[in-house]
Amino acid sequence: MCDSPKICPLVIQYPKILSFEGGAFMNVMVTGTGRSYALGYNLALRYLESGDNVIATVRKPSSDIEKLKEQYKDKLTVLTMDLTDSRSVQKAAEDLSSKTDHIDTLINNAVGVSPDCDKGFFEADLDLIPHTVDIIAVGTMRVIKAFYPLLHNAPGTALIMNISSEAGSISRCYRTNLIDYGMGKAALNMATMNLYNTFKDEGKVNIFAVHPGWIRTDGREDNPAPLSSYEAAGILKDLFETRREDFTGHRFITNEGLDYPF
Ligand SMILES: NC(=O)c1ccc[n+]([C@@H]2O[C@H](COP(=O)([O-])OP(=O)(O)OC[C@H]3O[C@@H](n4cnc5c(N)ncnc54)[C@H](OP(=O)(O)O)[C@@H]3O)[C@@H](O)[C@H]2O)c1
């Protein structure tokens, strides 16, 4: 990200407010954190509660994350970026490079779906599909590419966890709706596998796709999903550390650590 000589000199003028001190705390980045009832915010919260430094990204200003910032101050860095805009993602990476020299864990959680998500093939406007795939799959790749130098700078093995879904499994597909979402997550799974192949020989950056479980990410108590976003985030946080050094296992796993078919 520091490929412009006009940008690099700026980088060193700022203090490194996030620093890795002796391995106790990590620098953890989570995308899509603007809603306090949803998963991304609760992942950020879980890592903050453990003392880690968190980089939380939002698409637009969020009062929820700003309240968390008031509480956790310099432990939380908030970046604004739109995953569909490479320049926006690159700018966020440059902003972060002025504050820290590495990322230990990147959790790609952000998601967006079309208004026709629940419709079937004959009812859905197919022209809405590319935007969803752009956010979920291409957007995640934009983030990984822009922040890769910071991941590569991690003192240990850096870990990328792409929050996927069982809805992205082609071999287990049973639905006739969620077409754009399923296609986006299937494409994300392919991106995960492709990047795994790209990174694995160096053994410096590891990557997985994860089905995070069935979660009440809308925050509604009448949602039948068994897990609150806070509970799901705790389960995922514990799971992620068990996979940091696993360069040989299956790349698509569930929140229970089980292999899931692509
Ligand atoms: N709920 C479940 O049971 C379940 C099951 C399987 C997988 N998942 C996955 O779990 C993750 C979290 O789900 P969730 O329901 O908590 O997500 P969410 O709240 O619907 O979305 C997460 C965030 O993504 C952001 N976002 C959307 N488009 C963006 C863009 N173009 N650029 C940057 N950010 C963007 C949104 O920002 P705004 O707030 O600005 O809109 C939102 O805050 C998702 O990846 C989802 O697919 C959930």
For residues 178-197, give the mean pLDDT.
98
Q: Which of 10, 6, 5, 20 is nearest to 153 (CA)?
A: 20
Measured in Å, residue 136 CA sits from the centre of ligand 1 at: 9
Q: Is residue 189, in this structure, part of any structural domain at all? A: yes
> Model confidence at 12, in pLDDT bands (50, 70, 90)?
very low
Residue 135 host element (H or E): none
Q: Is residue 92, in this structure, part of any structural domain at all? A: yes
> In percent, how much of the chain has pLDDT > 90?
90
CATH number, domain with residue 93: 3.40.50.720
Within 8 A by CB and 6+ apart from 60, the residues are 34, 80
- Atom of ligand 1 at shortest distance to CA of 218? 15
Q: What are phi and psi of 234, to 5 degrees?
A: -65, -40
Asked whether residue 146 carries a pLDDT value surpassing 70, the answer given is yes
Amino acid at the residue 43? L
Q: State how far the Cα of 1 lies from the Cα of 22, in Å rounded to an integer.
A: 26
> Model confidence at 24, in pLDDT bands (50, 70, 90)?
confident
Q: Is residue 78, in this structure, part of any structural domain at all? A: yes
Asked whether residue 16 carries a pLDDT value surpassing 80, the answer given is no
For residues 186-190, give the mean pLDDT.
99
Number of domains in the chain: 1
Q: Is residue 12, in this structure, part of any structural domain at all? A: yes
- The answer, yes or no, to whether any atom of ligand 1 lies below 6 A from the CB of 84, is yes
Within 8 A by CB and 6+ apart from 8, the residues are 2
Asked whether residue 119 carries a pLDDT value surpassing 60, the answer given is yes
Q: Is residue 67, in this structure, part of any structural domain at all? A: yes
Specify the pLDDT at position 15.
38
Query: Mean pLDDT for the chain?
Result: 92
- Full-model pTM: 0.93
Measured in Å, residue 112 CA sits from the centre of ligand 1 at: 6
**Residues of the domain holding 118:** 8-254
Q: State how far the Cα of 125 lies from the Cα of 130, in Å rounded to an integer.
A: 11
